[in-house]
Amino acid sequence: MRLSVESVTKEFIAQHGKVLVLDKISLQIKPGEFVCFVGPSGCGKTTLLNLIAGLEQPTQGAIQKNGEKITAPGSDRVVIFQEAALFPWLNVIQNVEFGLVGRMEARKRHEIARALLNLVHLGRFEKAYVHQLSGGMKSRVAIARALALNPSVLLMDEPFAALDAQTRDILHEEIEEIWTKTKQTIIFVTHNVREAVRLGDRVFVFTARPGQIKKEFKIDLPRPRDTNSEAVVAYAKLIQQELREEIEKFLKEEVDSEWTLKKADFLRPAGIDLGSGI
């Protein structure tokens, strides 16, 4: 499913007046592409994801799928949020089946859910409840629940941000394996520059608010990729250079007009999480 974002602007009404979040964003996403968005906090990455999902409507411009304007949510575009948002009163397989209730008979729902749990390596935990799962396991369940709807597009909003590095690396491998098998289009929002390079065919760097596309990077590396490889680190450094100025703009506006990245000794090198937590 081809996605087209055409001169999209988004404003929100705040207590002190209108806030321009996105300003004339235009981009094209091909079927089966894995695209990552990176940028300073508040630059509109998640807002654009919500617009593509149909959860919000643009103030100006349009978003189209295969030439048809997106005006509402649809099962062809499923969002996976930073928090897994699982239902604690349901067990794992019931959570995965949830979106299929009313669409097919129980036996068929169960077959689909069990196959997807096996795909994300959770087949032995189908009867477990949410409080019995680790963070990585909850993320796997959320992915399986999204896949149950067989969407054309997966919209992933920092789904691994709260996980430790080892678990995140494992999930990178698994989401790439799923993407290879399903050929779905994936749009992935992250603050982690190396994560974007590890996963993306293309990485779009956003400016500070109002968000615009500052630069597009085509990641011309073979798969699978190692997050710590020299090639991934080299791409991450290039993207980090583009982000430094934007994060500095954000912090001067929101925190301190004299703030510079040179003063921020606490920031990690090599773009590990540039912009995270800001």
Rounded mean pLDDT of the chain? 88
- Does residue 104 form part of some domain? no
CATH number of domain containing 10: 3.40.50.300
Question: According to the model, what pLDDT value does residue 118 have?
Answer: 92
pLDDT at 257 over 80: no
Confidence band, pLDDT 50/70/90 cuts, at residue 271: very low
Task: Check residue 39 and give its pLDDT.
Answer: 92
For residue 114, being part of any structural domain is answered with: no
> Average pLDDT of 46-61?
96
pLDDT over threshold 70, residue 273: no
pLDDT tens-digit series, residues 13-47: 877 788 999 999 999 999 999 999 999 888 999 99
Question: What is the per-residue pLDDT for 15?
Answer: 76
**90 found inside a domain:** no
Higher pLDDT, residue 124 or 277: 124
Return the pLDDT at 276.
44
Rounded CA-CA distance 161/163 in Å is 6
Is 140 part of a structural domain of the chain?
A: no
Site of tokens 């993407």: 179
The whole-model pTM stands at 0.87
Position 85 in a domain:
no
Which two structure tokens, joined as six digits, stand for 127? 């009867």
Domain presence at residue 138: no
Q: What's residue 18's pLDDT? A: 87
Q: Output the CA–CA distances (angstroms, integers) from residue 132 to 83, 86, 88, 135, 170, in the order listed.
A: 16, 12, 10, 10, 20
**Domain boundaries, position 212:** 3-76+151-271
Q: Convert the pLDDT of each residue in 103-160 to its tens digit.
A: 889 999 999 999 999 999 999 999 999 999 999 999 999 999 999 999 999 999 999 9
CB 23 within 8 A of CB 211: yes
Tally of structural domains, the chain: 1
Cis ω for the linkage preceding 31 (within 30 of 0): no
Per-residue pLDDT tens for 179-204? Answer: 998 889 999 999 999 999 999 999 99
pLDDT at 7 over 90: yes
For the cut 50, the answer to whether the pLDDT of residue 277 exceeds it is no
* pLDDT score for 126: 94
Q: Is residue 276 part of a domain?
A: no
Position 146 in a domain: no
Q: How many CA atoms lie within 13 A of 259 on its CB side?
A: 17
